[in-house]
Structure 1
């Protein structure tokens, strides 16, 4: 298990520690690379919601790109947070040139801007960026930044002008310079490739094996460290591409779970392909998933799209897929012809679904319901954030995140008992966080999943791990 649920922007602070932003958990920590000690300096629940990149100014202030709400923050050396701007759409790449602050937008048609922490209107250096991301000032005094969609790296003067194409690589996510002046271009692919371009223009391709590279930082001794949005951890990069894992990788969710599969936000755990997976269900050899982008897929094939934050998914006995469409407050069915039918509506943010034969159960913020003839009938009320559901031996199990426990509901008598308690579950996961990125719709919302393993054990997902609960004897 990793202490980080995905690692995004990283940068060395004035104290020599490596500062790490976690987009999914909304937290920033400082890592002492010598001792391994980690201190949370911007905790979950602060005004910063989804930090994706960070940089330090000459005065020691930290600047934070808060992607989803579209804000840029300043954390002064005393730890006080103040808003720099809420006029940047999907801010991501951020860097400082002395005390000058620059940020770009991770969206189609994005901009690269200079912001003024002490007041003043933002200045647009250039626009039309097809997904900007992590950037840095080069030895030549120009700002270097990637175009993620087109596979290009450009540079521009901090005072504006015409951008110049520098390099073309596949899926660039970040650009950094080492102490020798070499340009490092990180890519998001499964092999964790980094293109190194020396000051003389010589190219070297480094294959790290780190899935989902996100960012890099270079210390005073020219040691390079990399982060991963998809698998977390912090690794040191050697000149030949080998890595030394300093902070272990781990799950960044996880959310939906089956007996053998785990939906880990950016992928199904173990799969080296970014798929933004939230809910997951297995049916013989087929795998069904939901995603933050409103899709339902079977083995990668789109079965439905344009849904409003679909989360939990289950397979009915007749092979029909049933999905909790959280944003629409309903439960839908998708048949073999991909026809969508509404099974129930008027729910309050339904999260998960489960079946006992043909009987369907759904959890929402008000409790757990059985769907009878299109109507949700309460079977357990007064629960604190009920989420994942699973059926075993005539009982319906539910993860009650708000009280960090798993309950069992007898489907014959209605009696409720506690199956397990004091679980590592975060109530903050109950809050949906819409991704208001122009041109990039989505609804990243975590939830604690629940499944029955082949041997009858319950599997509970959440807070970076999957917990196995042995059946009671």
Structure 2
């Protein structure tokens, strides 16, 4: 990872792309929507409100989402192309869970309080959790959006503090008392630690590279100590009152005299060190995210001993009073307990998937394979058995992947897109090799391969469908602009394409010459889109928490399933679409869709 490669995802980790996308400037026009709390609701439910129309589009997340499915779904004949209403008829669909869900939405920072309670943070999920180590379960301790936690630390008096990476906020809470905002306006605020005297220090990483002292009362502004350290990530104060931490971009572990603003390298030769922590004996423990290793370091000599070989995508660690080591893995959506003596690891909690977004399906001999953009990994799912196969995971040494959030698949082409990293990745379905990685898009969502081999990208940041061709996608032309939130994209049978416009609430047909016809409007945040063998469109209407079928010829709507666990509330600092809900269709007409709320995959079969 080169210092120039500091493209940061909404999950709180950097991508491997060459450039940070221009999502924090006015050139990306999704600011017509903003998160607003649902009045009377103290859970993590949010809606997206249009500044142009004042209309609210629900994005249900957290506890507000009920865990129920309409296994008896309904069919409706609709009277015109301008209404999203559906008259229910007694046709039966069976909706079942193909891949079970999991806790967290990517797990990052860890912290242990004096009572031995383990806490874990999620950036994309914007929640802070308490983990029951004995049962391997987790419950929300601080809900979204203020629960976003890339790192967690405890003060000598028991006060818990955490960092909201995307929002740029730092919060604290003592016991069950009120939550206090200590700092704001620090995008990329990442790691933090308390000194023995109770003073608090924090760094920005990936969207900045600065060390601050934070006023624990939240009155004084952050005091800058030093900058350009090289990505001072998960750190802790040592017995000598020096701050020890990894330098993500330099492969080193360093110590900082925060009083003198002096940095000294303690150990080097790491691939990508992500976090450090001390045990009761004064040993310094380091996790290397690229190699998946837990390493013990002598802080005096710098000597290293690899104690446990785990999987890549390690993020953070915490050590309790008995020197038990807990390590988080964002791709596994899991936490492991490692014995420091033997290096043996015990899984505390894990998920089949991390945070599934867009999906695509390829079929061979009647067997469906679902390709999942799992944010921290690229995975496939057997459409019959639900068996999950990992193809690639973030930060693993030698792996090309950039926080995939959208996915499409057809024949030998699998395309993964990431709206934050601004990338479109073309993968060979047979070999799993990356054929091309295209950069410099503005918030790309779905991308599909056209008949002539070019790629059409739904570029939300420019409100456009962009045709891409040439070496590494250097030739780019706009097929159509002025689309309000283009997310889902699917090809038709005559060269036309269909697109969902999430912010406008419409589904449109786009001809090869760029001519647009609105098929259905007044939908609530339509995202994922697929096309059946007879030409009907399947849409995830996320704001209404339902799956619908649209007949393009007359705009008639069929409601397939309702009360679905879709529409994870957008994280502060991100997009209203957040993690897009994916929809795909198998060889026999089976409909598959992703649940970002549960981290699950569902299938709908027409009886």
TM-score, normalised to structure 1's length?
Answer: 0.91
Partners of 1:405 and 1:422 within 8 A in 2: yes
Q: Equivalent residue for 1:409?
A: 550
How far, CA to CA, are the matches of 1:401 and 1:26 in structure 2?
19
The separation in 1 between residues aligned to 2:572 and 2:586, in whole angstroms, is 28
Work out the number of aligned pairs and report it: 462
Residue 171 in 1 paired to residue 272 in 2? yes
Aligned position for 2:121? 21
The answer for the alignment partner of 2:98 in structure 1 is: none
Do the aligned residues in 2 keep the contact of 1:63 with 1:73 (CA within 8 Å)? yes
Q: Distance in 2 between matches of 1:67 and 1:288?
A: 28
CA distance in 2, matches of 1:11, 1:28: 11
Look up the SS of the partner of 2:130 in the other structure. strand
Report deviation, 1:421.
1.8
Matched, 1:33 2:133: yes
**C-alpha separation between the residues in 2 aligned to 1:384 and 1:329?**
18
Q: Which residue of 1 aligns with 2:603?
A: 469
- In structure 2, the CA distance between the partners of 1:453 and 1:315, relative to structure 1 (3 Å rule), is same
CA shift, 1:87, in A, is: 4.6
Give the aligned partner of residue 107 of structure 1.
Answer: 206
CA contact (8 A) 2:137 2:349 kept: no
* Pair 27,433 (structure 1): closer, same or farther in 2 beyond 3 Å: same
Kindly state the Cα deviation for residue 134 of structure 1 after the two structures are TM-superposed. 0.5
Counterpart CA distance in 2 for 1:19 and 1:432 is: 21
Q: Aligned partners of 1:110, 1:123: CA distance in 2, in Å?
A: 14
**How far apart, CA to CA, are the structure 1 residues paired with 2:207 and 2:126?**
24
- SS for the counterpart of 1:173 is strand
The CA deviation at 1:297 is 2.3
Q: Which residue of 2 aligns with 1:151?
A: 251
Post-superposition shift, 1:37?
4.8
Q: Where do 1:348-387 residues align within 5 Å?
A: 348-357=484-493, 358-364=495-501, 365-366=503-504, 367-372=506-511, 373-387=513-527
Q: How does 1:14-413 map to 2 (within 5 A)?
A: 14-44=114-144, 46-48=145-147, 50-98=148-196, 99-107=198-206, 110-118=209-217, 119-168=219-268, 169-189=270-290, 191-198=291-298, 201=301, 202-239=303-340, 240-259=342-361, 260-269=370-379, 270-274=390-394, 275=401, 276-291=403-418, 292-299=420-427, 300-302=434-436, 304-335=438-469, 337=471, 338=473, 339-357=475-493, 358-364=495-501, 365-366=503-504, 367-372=506-511, 373-392=513-532, 393-413=534-554
Give the whole-Å Cα distance in 2 for the aligned partners of 1:80 and 1:35. 29
The one-character-per-residue Cα deviations of 1:124-177 (angstroms, maximum 9, x if unpaired) are 332212222110011222110111111111101242332110011110110111
Residue by residue over 1:326-378, the C-alpha shift from the partner in whole angstroms, topping out at 9 and shown as x without a partner, is: 11111112235532121211011111101122221111122211113324321
| Structure 1 residue 200 displacement after superposition | 6.8
1:211–1:272 CA contact under 8 A, matched in 2: no
- Alignment partner of 1:149: what SS? coil
Contact 1:361 1:369 in 2 (8 A): yes
Supply the distance in 1 between the matched residues of 2:569 and 2:417 (Cα, whole angstroms): 21
Partner in structure 2 of residue 439 of structure 1:
none
Runs (5+) with no aligned partner, structure 2: 1-100, 362-369, 380-389, 395-400, 428-433
Q: Is the 8 A contact 2:274 2:286 kept in 1?
A: yes
Structure 1's unaligned 5+ residue stretches are 436-442
Q: Residue 448 of structure 1 aligns with which residue?
A: 581
CA distance in 2, matches of 1:84, 1:323: 41
Q: CA RMSD in A?
A: 2.3
Q: 1:29 to 1:109 in 2, by over 3 A?
A: closer
Q: Secondary structure at the match of 1:471?
A: strand
- What TM-score do you get using the length of structure 2 for normalisation? 0.72
Distance 2:215 2:122 in 1: 25
